[in-house]
Amino acid sequence: MTPSLREIDYSVLQQCMHCGMCLPTCPTYDTTRRERNSPRGRIALMRSIADGELQLGKEFAKEMSYCLGCLACQTACPAGVDYARLFETARADIERQGIQDEPSRIFWRTLTLRILFMNPRLLRLAGRVLYFYQKAGFDRAMRRLGLMRLLPGNLRRLEPQTPQVCSRFSHDLIRADESPAGETRHRVALLTGCVQDLAFSSINRDTADVLLANGCAVHTPAWQPCCGSLHAHNGEPEMAAVLARRMIDLLPPEEFDAIITNAGGCGSHLRHYSHLLADDPRYAERAREWDRKVRDIHEWLVAIGPRVPGASPFESETTVTYHESCHLTHGQKIVAQPRVLLRMIPGLRYVELPEASWCCGSAGVYNITQPEQSARMLDRKISHIAGTRALVLATSNPGCHLQIARGLREQGLAVTVEQPVTLLARAYRRETLSA
């Protein structure tokens, strides 16, 4: 079992020097200017619990829910405080104590975390149902007739952010094993994700195509478990550990040169299986090897030397800017590589986005649980995007993609949201057509 705050290695809590370097990077502190809403303040609360001076209670749970978990503080911290570990430990403590339990919350957590996201077949079945619901126009009819107001509050907030489910999922688009046309330089496994699989399966196809174009043989199992990120971030480390074992069994790391992920939030969690399984004698060493093999798609391409496409993804020069996914930048420390890929694509004029690393407010389910704070952050992000006059906003996480696309629609801005790998795949395809 994951240790509680009172059992955790106390040196992790002691690392915080209270220097305040994290304060300017924290979106919640930036909004309220309250110490308790800062990383430093939250660590002080955690330390008080570890010392027995403060009891776990609803106010502490409320504070941990207000934190985005964006990890910007972790990047800024000169002492190297592992805030992600502290944050997940605190949330796990809260769930174990049942501090926030109420019937509706228990129902939705059971349905999502314990049932749907533990079973990929059920999750895809739910995706099919949602696809036909959207395809038949029931969602539009409910909005037109005002029936959405009859839904519970959380569902009303969720509905506008529900992604359009794809007609074909990743296993319909990508064969289990695909080989490049030329020489095979590397053998990799491709992770298709959960939201990415249901709502952005074409991005998984794009990722496979880019890997093939760069000499990689690609293995993509049809039925992949959830990586466990959602569970770990929401106080369910034991379920996250179960999913980590399933993933390692499905894709033995010793069989691949790299295990590729294209979603920033998933990738950050996937690289820490060794922490989840450190006390498991059967999996600890395999988890360490897994961590060594996991690579973000941008990171991997730059490492092996990407092939520069001979065509542009667009008919004319197009201005592109880039929003950094929090867990790609702060969780995985991948900052330069997406920009390297964007700048090498012909016909793209890259412009830097002000506050590119500032969270967009998606943060998993934060836009549902903290809609007002999320909306403030989204407005700030959209304002900066508008100022660049870019026609394309590139980002590398499905949550950011959905959040920013919704903000752009609501503001009436003609800016499309794409992943860098999609732009690269499109350029390779146009190159082939030109030839």
Which tokens is 73 given? 């503080």
The amino acid that residue 20 corresponds to is G
User: Please, where in the chain does CATH 3.40.50 lie?
Assistant: 318-434
Q: Which CATH number fits domain 10-97: 1.10.443.10, 3.40.50.2300, 3.40.50.300, 1.10.1060.10?
A: 1.10.1060.10
pLDDT at residue 2, rounded to an integer: 67
pLDDT surpassing 80 at residue 138: no
**Position 75 confidence tier, pLDDT thresholds 50, 70, 90:** very high
pLDDT surpassing 70 at residue 156: no
Distance CA 193, CA 267 (A): 10
Least confident among 203-207, 320-324, 361-365, 413-417? 361-365
166-179 burial, b at 16+ Cβ within 10 Å, e below that, comes to beebbbebbeeebe
**Position 367 confidence tier, pLDDT thresholds 50, 70, 90:** confident
Among residues 273, 275, 278, the alpha carbon closest in space to that of 290 is found at: 273
pLDDT surpassing 80 at residue 370: yes
Least confident among 86-95, 131-140, 319-328? 131-140
Burial environment of residue 352 by CB neighbours within 10 A (0 to 12, 13 to 18, 19 or more): exposed
Total length of the chain? 435
Q: Which residue has the tokens 């920013």?
A: 404
What would the CATH number be for the domain defined by 318-434? Answer: 3.40.50
The answer to whether 430 and 311 are in contact (CB under 8 A) is: yes
Distance CA 305, CA 186 (A): 12
Please enumerate in sequence order all residues whose Cβ is within 8 A of that of 410, keeping only pairs 6 or more positions apart, or say none: none
pLDDT for 233-266, tens place per residue? 999 999 999 999 999 999 999 999 999 999 999 9
Least confident among 77-81, 159-163, 311-315, 392-396? 159-163
pLDDT surpassing 90 at residue 311: yes
pLDDT at residue 167, rounded to an integer: 93
User: Please, where in the chain does CATH 1.10.1060.10 lie?
Assistant: 10-97
The amino acid that residue 134 corresponds to is Q
Distance CA 50, CA 62 (A): 18
pLDDT at residue 3, rounded to an integer: 73
CB-facing half-sphere around the CA of 28: CA atoms within 13 A: 25
pLDDT for 217-232, tens place per residue? 999 999 999 999 999 9
pLDDT for 45-67, tens place per residue? 999 999 999 888 999 999 999 99
The amino acid that residue 340 corresponds to is V
Among residues 252, 250, 262, 254, the alpha carbon closest in space to that of 221 is found at: 250
The amino acid that residue 86 corresponds to is L
